Every structure is written in C-alpha cells, then in structure tokens.
Amino acid sequence: MFNDFKELSSLQIDALKEIGNIGAGNAATALAQMVNTKIDLNIPRVSILPFDDVFEYLGGADLPMVGIFLGVTGSAPCNILFLMPVEKAWILVDMLMGRNPDEKQDMEFGEMDISAMMEVGNIIAATYLNALSMFTQLQFYPSVPGIGIDMVGALMDAVLAQFGQIGDHVLLLETQFLKDENGIMGNFFLLPEPGSLDSILSALGVNF
Amino acid sequence: MAKIIQVGMADMKYSNAPDKLTTAGLGSCIGICIIDKSKKIGSLAHIMLPSSLQAKNAQNRAKFADSAIELVLEELSKQGTTNHASLVAKIAGGAQMFKFSGESDILKIGERNSIAVQENLEKHRIKLLAKDIGGNYGRTITFDLQTGDLLVRTIGYGEHLI
C-alpha cells in the first residue's frame, strides 16, 4: 500500500480529475438551484504538495476565508473542505437569504448565515459524494459539517494535521466554482486519505 | 542587518539576535519558541501533532511536539547552549478551528497538541514563560530574538505581545 502520494501516474491523475469533474458538476447544479443562478466550474486540478507548499498554493496563509469541513468515512475515507473568500461568502449568504447586499448593516455573519453556509456545505458534499459513489461503487458517509472563518492557513493547517501521521504530502483534488459577475466563488477540495487512494483508483480501474 | 526567517509547517529554524523567526497560519498546530537569552540564540518549531510515537512515519522530527523539542535542544547545544536552565519558552496556537453543530470529536487535535507541548517542555525542564493557546482562531507569530518578545497576530482578535 501507498504511504505517500508522490508516485501517481498521469493516467491516475486524469482519472482523479474526471471524478472531480463529475462530483463537482453535480454539486454545482445543486448549488445553482439553491441560489437560482448559474454556477460554472473550472477544470479540476490535482496537486500533490508537501504541507508547506499548500499555503502558497492557496495564495498566502493570512487571507480571510470561510471554510466548511466534512470528514468522510466508509470504504475510502476522505476529507472535504470548501473554501470561500469572506467577501464571496457574503454574496452567497445574501443570495440564500434573499437580502439586498447594499442594505447590509452587519459586519459579522449571524447565526442564520452560519447555518445557511453549513447547509450549503452539506448539500454540495452530499451531491459530490453521490456522484463519486455512482462512479466507483464505493460507499461514502459524510460527517456533520464544521465551519471556520479565519486565516486560510489556520483552517488548512487543522485539516492537514490529520495527514501528518502518515506522510509529508497531501493530495488536493480541487474544483473552482464560478459565478458570472463575481468570478471564483469558492474552491472545493477533496483530500483522500493515503490508503483511500488505492480503493478509489482500483474502483476506477487504474490501480497499481 | 536583522533578518526575518520564515518557518514552514512541520519545520524548525534557529538563529541569533537580532533576527526574527516567523510562522504563519497556526491553527491546531503550535509554534514553540525557545530562547537562550544569555547567548541571544533561539528557535521556532511549527509542530502539527502531539507524539512521534504513534506516527507511522516520524522521519520529520519537527512535525511532532516531543521530537521537535529534542531536535531544538540538539541544535541549540551544538551552538553552545548546554544548560537547559538558561532556556525559556513561549508557545502559541493549538486552536479548534472548526465549529460543528452538536458534539463532535472531529479535528480536535489542538488541545492534545497544547498538552503534549507543555508536558515535553516540563520533561526537559524548560521554563514556559508565556502561552497564547486554544480558542477558535488562527495565529501568525513573530519571535524577536533580540527582546524575546512573541508577537501574535489574529483576524478579529487583534494582535498582542506575550
């Protein structure tokens, strides 16, 4: 079995990108229905990075972001992290709550805003995993969502700590969600645990 | 000229005054700052996990609370600091970054890191001068080897010296 992620072939990387595409495609459709607007996707990226390079990949450790996390158990345990820059998260919650952004008084997210964002996390994770499950015939069970609003480095660091027991690299399968006039709304990350990658790649017929 | 030296995740660096050591985005991780004030030499380790004993891969010693402190002591003793009584420590980090609805043990590594760091400092008889740990917010820290001050910056909780 696989201890670290360094030795993936290009065929395996393409297979993972395909999963990202299908999973995030379903998730984007679900999100688009919730906010009643069109949501587009970028081509997924697969990156295998030493922990230390993840901050740079995200554009700097100090950027304020909203992170929604779900742990996924089942035959191939994974982590899901949906990151949104704080200003984009405001656009999203204003749309979900039917508020006019120009009339906004509050500078901080209210309790309703937080639970709306968690629900978004729930729905996009569930639809993503559904597609992944159909594709691989593996079972995935997401946890309840957790939310953090802080510097992105600190959010990511809490997630990466789980990978530290086994290796020094993490595999990020990233798909960006876009909305016409606002650009990138959020980045959806699937972080399979090292052992899970075997199961997923075998199910896709591109095992070692 | 004083340099500002970046310390990455699961990384350890040391230097002399008047340099500064800095690490960004501490969430559940902990920044362990240790200084020998008489010699004006100090280190910053950015640890991710409490113990190297449970790890399947413990090659990177800066990743774990126990092995990182041992690594620091080895490096500082090569630089002439052999008496642990002259060493003092300041620590920051160990937060619980994600809030879950209801009870959940997911990602609760911050608290275990905090306990492990303090136990290991005690084990090596390194005096803990100050700490800024726990809570639910991230920290970016800068350790000034000239003064021994640790600057903790946050989003929404201000910045302060410990």
What are the pLDDT digits (tens) for A106-159?
678 888 889 888 988 888 888 888 888 888 888 999 988 999 999 999 999 888
Q: What is the pLDDT of residues A35-79, one digit of tens each?
A: 888 888 887 888 888 888 888 888 888 889 999 999 899 988 999
Q: Do A62 and B139 touch (CB under 8 A)?
A: no
pLDDT, residue B88, reads: 93
In this complex, do B109 and A62 lie within 8 Å of one another by their Cβ atoms?
no
pLDDT of residue A104: 64
Tell me the pLDDT band of A2, cut-offs 50, 70 and 90: very low
Report whether the peptide linkage leading into residue B18 is cis, meaning its omega lies within 30 degrees of zero.
yes
* ipTM of this predicted structure: 0.86
What's the pLDDT score for residue A52? Answer: 81
The one-digit pLDDT tens for each residue of chain B (162 residues) are 789 999 988 899 999 989 999 999 899 999 999 999 888 899 999 999 999 887 777 788 999 999 999 999 999 888 888 777 889 999 999 999 988 876 666 678 899 999 999 999 999 999 999 999 998 899 999 999 999 999 999 988 889 999
Alpha helices in B22-64 (DSSP H): none
Tell me the pairing of strands B20-26 and B4-6.
parallel
A150 contacts B137? CB cut-off 8 A: yes
- Summarize pLDDT for A13-38 with one digit per residue, the tens: 888 888 888 888 888 888 888 888 88
**Residues of chain B positioned with their CB less than 8 A from the CB of A165:** 49, 54-57
Which chain A residue shows the shortest CA-CA distance from B93? A154
- Measured between CA atoms, the residue of chain A closest to residue B141 is A62
Chain B residues with beta carbon closer than 8 angstroms to that of A142: none
**Looking at chain A, which residue has its C-alpha nearest residue B111?**
A158
Average pLDDT of the residues of chain A: 84
**CB spacing of A144 vs B109 below 8 angstroms:** no
Which of the residues B98, B100, B105, B117 would you substitute to probe the A interface, choosing the one with the greatest number of A C-beta atoms within 10 Å?
Answer: B98
State the alpha helices, DSSP H only, in chain B: 65-78, 109-123
Report yes or no: A67 and A82 within 8 Å, Cβ to Cβ.
yes
Question: Residue A208's pLDDT band (boundaries 50, 70, 90)?
Answer: low
Q: Assess contact for B52 and B64: CB atoms under 8 A.
A: yes
Q: Count CA atoms closer than 13 A to A183's CA, side-chain side.
A: 4
Residue B136 CA to residue B154 CA, distance in Å, equals 11
Region for B7 from its dihedrals, namely left if φ exceeds 0, alpha if ψ lies in -120 to 50, beta otherwise = beta
Q: Is B29 a catalytic residue?
A: yes
Residue in B7, B21, B26, B29 annotated catalytic? B29
**B57 vs A160: CB contact, 8 Å cut-off?**
no
- Write the CA distances from A148 to A42, B16, B48, B76, integer angstroms: 25, 36, 18, 37
